[in-house]
Structure 1
Amino acid sequence: MSEGYFWGASLTADKNTITWDPEEPSKDGQPDFSRGHSLTIKQAMLGKEAKSGELNVVQAETVGYNGDVKIPLFSLEAGALRQCMLDLSFPDAPVVLKLAEGSGPVHLSGYHSIASVMDEQTDDELEDEGEEEMVDEVYDDEALANGDKDEEDEDDDSPRKGKAVPPKAKKPKPTPKKT
């Protein structure tokens, strides 16, 4: 589970840079390092004041896998393309959104997600759980293959759901001889 909050910002000639930083102090004035944050931008739209024929380019500056990334995200032009749908996610790293060309206004909207404590189960914990389940299945399958029965199966000869059960060998019934 995670918490989600609507997020919005506007870029103009006067205010052409917005910084989203997940480590900024929260409402109580303290940084919230205990949970993962991400920003997802879903839509960009030119405001009605945008100049016709002027290209408005928005770029992002953030930290990537191999270092810093600075790249244009989209361009909008009044009279041609006034809005675009996006699906851009920026997890756990500050991002600077800049109106690199044009005078805007460009309105951005999306959501800020905060992972809950339960979402932050470590990879080691998940791997350990998966290994335990796999080991249990292997032992169950080996026991069935060797003809052993589980305590649950002693009274029930039907195969268990989801488990491969080897077929039982049936002894042929002797046929009566005609005399």
Structure 2
Amino acid sequence: MDDNFYATTLDSTNKTVKWDVVGDTKEFPNPFYKLIIRQFLLGHTAKEDEYNVIEVETSSMTESKPNQVKVPVAVLKAGETRSIQTVLEFPDSPVTFTLVEGSGPVYIHGQQVPGNYEIEDTTELSDEEEEDEEDVKMANAKAKNAKNAKNGKK
């Protein structure tokens, strides 16, 4: 299983796009893929002063049960914000992107990767942020060790 480039366009004639590996057995015979969105980009023909709002609908785990959620993930406007860099991971399909406001075009770029694939965060951290990250890792490790000791595990 290889990772693949993912791209789609939302505009006034195509306001909704669905990513569904389970429903597409031709392209994804093994449905263990996840979607990682890296960028939302407003096209050069977008109308000035028009907000373009992209909403995602997907499943989320709440209180140990799946729940459908709809949430805006990007707001773009010509003359202000033409692109947004992000790392949005969707481990389960289907995922539906909808242009709920504006006429676009909005380009969505990312990757389709095997579900057990770990993404590498390429953002540079300051020395202080690296120390904070190490502190969190140490605290998590201590909590896990304490829990295992309490349960009689090594």
Give your verdict on TM over 0.5.
Answer: yes
From 61, 85, 88, the equivalent of 2:57 is: 61
Q: Any conservation in 1 of the 2:25–2:31 contact (CA below 8 Å)? A: no
Residue of structure 1 equivalent to 2:20: 21
SS in 2 for 1:3: coil
List alignment gaps of at least 5 residues for structure 1: 120-179
Number of residue pairs the alignment of both structures matches: 113
- Pairing 1:2-151 to 2, within 5 Å after superposition: 3-27=2-26, 32=29, 34-66=30-62, 67-115=67-115
SS in 2 for 1:100: strand
Alpha-carbon offset, residue 115 of structure 1: 4.3
Structure 1: distance between partners of 2:111 and 2:89 = 10
Q: Any conservation in 1 of the 2:36–2:110 contact (CA below 8 Å)? A: yes
Alpha-carbon offset, residue 69 of structure 1: 0.6
Residue of structure 2 equivalent to 1:165: none
Q: Any conservation in 2 of the 1:3–1:115 contact (CA below 8 Å)? A: no
Structure 2: distance between partners of 1:101 and 1:60 = 13
RMSD: 1.9
Change (3 A) 1:111 1:71: same
List alignment gaps of at least 5 residues for structure 2: 119-154
Structure 2: distance between partners of 1:83 and 1:64 = 26
Structure 2: distance between partners of 1:113 and 1:57 = 26
Change (3 A) 1:102 1:35: closer
Q: Any conservation in 2 of the 1:53–1:77 contact (CA below 8 Å)? A: yes
Residue of structure 1 equivalent to 2:127: none
AA in 1 matched with 2:56: A
SS in 2 for 1:108: strand
Structure 1: distance between partners of 2:115 and 2:58 = 20
Q: Any conservation in 2 of the 1:5–1:112 contact (CA below 8 Å)? A: yes
AA in 1 matched with 2:19: W
SS in 2 for 1:79: coil
Q: TM-score, with normalisation over the residues of structure 1?
A: 0.59
SS in 2 for 1:65: strand
Alpha-carbon offset, residue 18 of structure 1: 0.3
Deviation per residue, 1:28-76 (Å, 9 max, x gap): 7xx63x4521000001101111000000000000111021110000100
Change (3 A) 1:65 1:53: same
Alpha-carbon offset, residue 93 of structure 1: 2.3
